[in-house]
Structure 1
């Protein structure tokens, strides 16, 4: 478990009390609002507002009048319209909302979603020609098209009218389309820039229907619009907050057979719909279709009116999601095998790996998982013949696009942004590219850059936590980008119990402070990666949840981080200083000599733990976690100073070597034939001599 930097907000107590009194918010809710700068009634109420009056006039979007006129004319003239979409959740929901709407108007309409694996993202000339030859005269792009200047010029040449709706960043030159609707156009005066692609489509439908039909548009389409907005990780403020709040309510009782059957197959049909459920349960299943090259099936799911057909497709998407997970896990397995042998956490600032025929559709997810685990930028490249296609993910503070630009002489093409990018490279350029971009990363990334940051809204006490206070936090929902779930912290809790669950993939803990005992869940970390052991005094950072199980409701702390409290660290620092005095030949008290001197069971416990936990003869661990884990497992008193003495003894005997940097111990087991004789250890002899000296002095005194 990687150490995190805690940024703890310290909001003004007076402002919290004032906000709670004036607006009637619970103290915990008011504390979160103040921590986020929403410390006046006006600011808080503006942020939390989510009624339909918060939706802006769609005709404020650039070219909206032209888009409405072009589409109305095409429908009136009986023209065949194609909606050109994208293969991710935003693109699929955008496509389905617009197709459903156009068909409700009686339009002759079809859709086209490019194949992720063979066509890639966005408009392409062969697809446009195919559409034209099939009788299409108008193409409406959704979630794409804003940079397709050349492709839209080609569409004009072959007689296709194009309307662009998109939300991606614009270049200087806009495509020559009948209309280009995008809130991020440089000439846009639209009040909200952060709509998803499906959000722009929603505004288009609102414009086509007129303000008198707004409520009908909302109730008909906002469930799908919310799913696409959440899945595309849009900022859940302003207009998006309105869209997602209403959309989640509609999703709970949706009339769309595809959404209903997907929720049933995913096992969440009876759960309260939240942004988290969409993000972690529904969106991956929709995305899986596009990643595995079957985005058409996901679109059909939301376009069919047949519950039985929807059920078949939903089951298929869940199967494809399992296939995606299997492909992802296999790439992860291969990547971890290489990293165990080659990755040096002291020196490496970036990870670049490649493999034969890794699935193009999932290497981006795997890059993200590796980046999260190792806390550094990661690029994975799938090789097929002489060419490789790569996908990278970065960390805050390191611009991956600029890094690729610096090594562009080795690439055939690349694109993306600061935190995510893609590339194409020739096989023979891989070693030079890796050397170049890793050198760039080493020069531009500091150790502090690689430390994950956790933003904590406020320190609280156990008495601040109740069922009622957790329920009242619900007015802050929906959570997502720009409105993360509140995180709190409590200092100096005692770890009473740690229980591995789900085959040791997660941990359940019992944490105690005063007369309050809490169940705490730590997901994604097994017992081997846990930084604390039973009996430790810890600080915990967590979100709050009410767990419903067998008709009972209990409070759960959902741990975001757990670390040793200052009192434990002070104890560690004391034993480190005693060890330092010993190594430097300084005088020690009798008690200090005894604290450092390891008996045979101590040495056995340390050696057995290192042997059992080392991978490929290497073990890296936080020094204080290592000493505590050995103590807990062996029931021997192994403080940090004594641990270092044991390591020195083994190092003298050429059983291992180790070094200590940034609170981490790096241990490497050495090849050894025969049986080591630790009785000749100079370290042990020196400590024994000091013990005898101390005893003699006591007797003579």
Structure 2
């Protein structure tokens, strides 16, 4: 687990008590709001999810022109094309606009570009095809804001263009009939953070300005909520209201496709939340686009047939299984390579390439690697002489800036601070890898990049009752801009460690003060877990209610786990004493005694390393290794003793060790004769130091 900096908000007892009294909040919910600086009238506004929070759609620039263009096309019976995108935001936006146009009797069709062959956004081939199909008006959703040349082509082919988008605008806007985007510099709209599907919904609201907003929400808010959450938009302001109501309508959705998908995934039984959308529903919808079948996702949300919806939902789940298989194959291949090609003590980036990796999944794998190793990761799929890649960053590292630094080596590139795409010639890969690593080293050193974890408050075991955890629901929906509350508890004891899901994840039993909690480390198997039973740890986690066979219990979802203060101090102390000894410094007798291993200690270390070191040796954390040995055989083992044992085995060419502060590589060497470690110079020096009176 990579080291994170914990920013624990200072306690605000007075503010929390005021929120309890003024808004009727539970103590735990009030503490979270106060810790986030949401107090007084701000807290009341934050918790307000009423439909009054939704802005007037005609405040969006060009909305009146967009309505006029659509009404004109519908009135004249012209064919209308909706041009979307292959992610969840684009798919849901496409679906609600097509549903609306069909409800008006419009002649319409949709177009979703193929991720593999066309990529994101408008392209000339698609525009020519739509014009040949007889389309006279094209409405873009979740795309088009930078399509200056493509819009001009559409006009020349006799097709008007209405752009609805939410991405950042450039200085020059396309010359369309209307450009509706809350991020336009001249936009008076009070909320800039709408998703693409949110902007599309505002277009429908404008078209239906005389209908009650509540009716429109009942009709479309379920899909709008799914797209908004999946696109990781901030769940504050208008988005909070949209998602709040959308989740309620999802519970009993009239959309056959949504209902079929939720049934397939068992979401209905567990209750629909923003988390269920993010981690369960969205990956299945996205898988269609990643694997080249985004049209299936659109059709899922357009069909009124329960039978067809069930079949399409099944196909999306199958595509997601294919996506997972492709992803895991690439991920495992890369882990094998990184075991010999990546040094976490030295390397500040990951740049790797492979033959014909699936372009639709390399971005997900890059994200997993960035999260696992705490460095930016770029993966490139090679096909012939060219490679297409995706990169993901870590907070504080500007990934797009790294590509700009190497821009002369790339055929093309784009993206932003945290995610990029690129095309590069095979012959330039090695130079690109070196140049990008040089940039990463400079950036990491200058900016001292380290993952940061924002913790809302420290809690005690008695604070986490089922009633207290349930009271946090008032703060939902959780997501970007309103993250799930994060808590910290110190001095927990690890009572059990259990691998789950074929050791892709780990379940821990953590105890303190006679109370026990079930906790989960997702994305880390027990084989890579640095902790052992009996360790004292501090945990940072979110909380949830586990309901099983009529019983309820609080469970923890761990975001980070550290050895507790006492354990951490002991490790630091023994390391300092060991380093003093290594450098020839003078030890107090008690310090030397703390480093001297017994014969049992030496045997236990030797047996453990030999049992776990394969042909490539053993890569591990010394802090973990000594705890494993202590747990298996030697209760008196400490970090200093372990390091001395390894030095003794190196002294007699039994082991070869190379180490940094947090990782070491140990190889078992071939010996023809037995070594007599009683003659160890290291052990003699320690014995003499233990008897000296200093």
TM above 0.5: yes
1:465 is aligned to 2:464: yes
Contact 1:541 1:560 in 2 (8 A): yes
Aligned-partner Cα distance in 1 for 2:582–2:222: 67
- Secondary structure of 2:242's aligned partner: helix
CA displacement at 1:497 relative to structure 2: 2.6
Aligned residue for 1:374? 373
1:60 is aligned to 2:71: no
CA displacement at 1:621 relative to structure 2: 3.6
CA displacement at 1:15 relative to structure 2: 1.2
Aligned residue for 2:15? 15
Aligned-partner Cα distance in 2 for 1:469–1:598: 49
1:674 is aligned to 2:672: yes
CA displacement at 1:103 relative to structure 2: 0.3
Aligned-partner Cα distance in 1 for 2:388–2:585: 59
Aligned-partner Cα distance in 1 for 2:202–2:383: 42
CA displacement at 1:475 relative to structure 2: 0.5
Aligned residue for 1:329? 328
CA displacement at 1:493 relative to structure 2: 2.0
Moved over 6 A (4+): none
CA displacement at 1:317 relative to structure 2: 0.7
CA displacement at 1:115 relative to structure 2: 0.7
CA displacement at 1:588 relative to structure 2: 5.0
Contact 2:80 2:106 in 1 (8 A): yes
With over 3 angstroms needed to count, the CA separation of the structure-2 counterparts of 1:49 and 1:3, relative to structure 1, is same
Aligned-partner Cα distance in 2 for 1:581–1:437: 38
Contact 1:602 1:636 in 2 (8 A): no
- Secondary structure of 1:59's aligned partner: helix
Which stretch of structure 1 is more off in the superposition, 552-561 or 578-587?
578-587
Contact 1:375 1:450 in 2 (8 A): no
With over 3 angstroms needed to count, the CA separation of the structure-2 counterparts of 1:586 and 1:386, relative to structure 1, is closer
With over 3 angstroms needed to count, the CA separation of the structure-2 counterparts of 1:584 and 1:374, relative to structure 1, is closer
Aligned-partner Cα distance in 1 for 2:442–2:582: 35
1:489 is aligned to 2:488: yes
Aligned residue for 1:81? 80
Aligned residue for 1:569? 568
Which stretch of structure 1 is more off in the superposition, 535-544 or 493-502?
493-502
Aligned residue for 1:384? 383
Aligned residue for 1:226? 225
Equivalent runs, 1:187-226 vs 2, <5 Å:
187-226=186-225
Aligned-partner Cα distance in 2 for 1:495–1:84: 53
CA displacement at 1:603 relative to structure 2: 1.5
Aligned residue for 1:4? 4
Equivalent runs, 1:99-138 vs 2, <5 Å:
99-138=98-137
Structure 1: segments with no counterpart, 5+ residues: none
- Secondary structure of 1:137's aligned partner: strand
CA displacement at 1:557 relative to structure 2: 1.8
With over 3 angstroms needed to count, the CA separation of the structure-2 counterparts of 1:499 and 1:316, relative to structure 1, is same
Aligned-partner Cα distance in 2 for 1:572–1:438: 32
- Secondary structure of 1:236's aligned partner: coil
2:662 to 653, 661, 664: 664
Contact 2:658 2:666 in 1 (8 A): no
Aligned-partner Cα distance in 1 for 2:120–2:247: 29
- Secondary structure of 1:664's aligned partner: coil
Equivalent runs, 1:199-348 vs 2, <5 Å:
199-348=198-347
With over 3 angstroms needed to count, the CA separation of the structure-2 counterparts of 1:256 and 1:676, relative to structure 1, is farther
Equivalent runs, 1:376-455 vs 2, <5 Å:
376-446=375-445, 449-455=448-454
CA displacement at 1:14 relative to structure 2: 1.3
Equivalent runs, 1:493-642 vs 2, <5 Å:
493-584=492-583, 588=587, 591-614=590-613, 617-642=616-641
CA displacement at 1:689 relative to structure 2: 4.5
- Secondary structure of 2:380's aligned partner: strand
CA displacement at 1:574 relative to structure 2: 3.3
CA displacement at 1:564 relative to structure 2: 1.4
Aligned-partner Cα distance in 2 for 1:17–1:109: 56
CA displacement at 1:578 relative to structure 2: 3.8
Contact 2:396 2:450 in 1 (8 A): no
Contact 2:396 2:447 in 1 (8 A): no
Aligned residue for 1:39? 39
Which stretch of structure 1 is more off in the superposition, 294-303 or 651-660?
651-660
Contact 1:618 1:666 in 2 (8 A): no
CA displacement at 1:396 relative to structure 2: 1.1
Per-residue deviation, residues 303-362 of structure 1 (Å, max 9, x unmatched): 111110111111111011000011111111221121111101122111110000111111
Aligned length: 692
- Secondary structure of 2:120's aligned partner: coil
Aligned-partner Cα distance in 2 for 1:214–1:297: 30
Aligned-partner Cα distance in 2 for 1:448–1:408: 22
Per-residue deviation, residues 606-652 of structure 1 (Å, max 9, x unmatched): 23333444466354444322211221122442111111110111221
- Secondary structure of 1:317's aligned partner: helix
Superposition RMSD on alpha carbons, in Å?
1.8
Aligned residue for 1:27? 27
What is the TM-score with the length of structure 2 in the denominator?
A: 0.96
Per-residue deviation, residues 104-153 of structure 1 (Å, max 9, x unmatched): 00000110111111111111111111111111111000000000000000
Aligned-partner Cα distance in 2 for 1:338–1:326: 19
- Secondary structure of 1:86's aligned partner: coil
With over 3 angstroms needed to count, the CA separation of the structure-2 counterparts of 1:482 and 1:678, relative to structure 1, is farther
Aligned-partner Cα distance in 2 for 1:352–1:314: 36
Contact 1:411 1:424 in 2 (8 A): yes
Aligned residue for 2:455? 456
Contact 1:350 1:376 in 2 (8 A): yes
CA displacement at 1:99 relative to structure 2: 0.1
Aligned-partner Cα distance in 1 for 2:544–2:327: 30
Aligned-partner Cα distance in 1 for 2:280–2:587: 59
CA displacement at 1:601 relative to structure 2: 2.6
Contact 2:79 2:137 in 1 (8 A): yes
With over 3 angstroms needed to count, the CA separation of the structure-2 counterparts of 1:583 and 1:445, relative to structure 1, is closer
Aligned-partner Cα distance in 2 for 1:479–1:79: 42
Contact 1:610 1:619 in 2 (8 A): yes
- Secondary structure of 1:637's aligned partner: coil
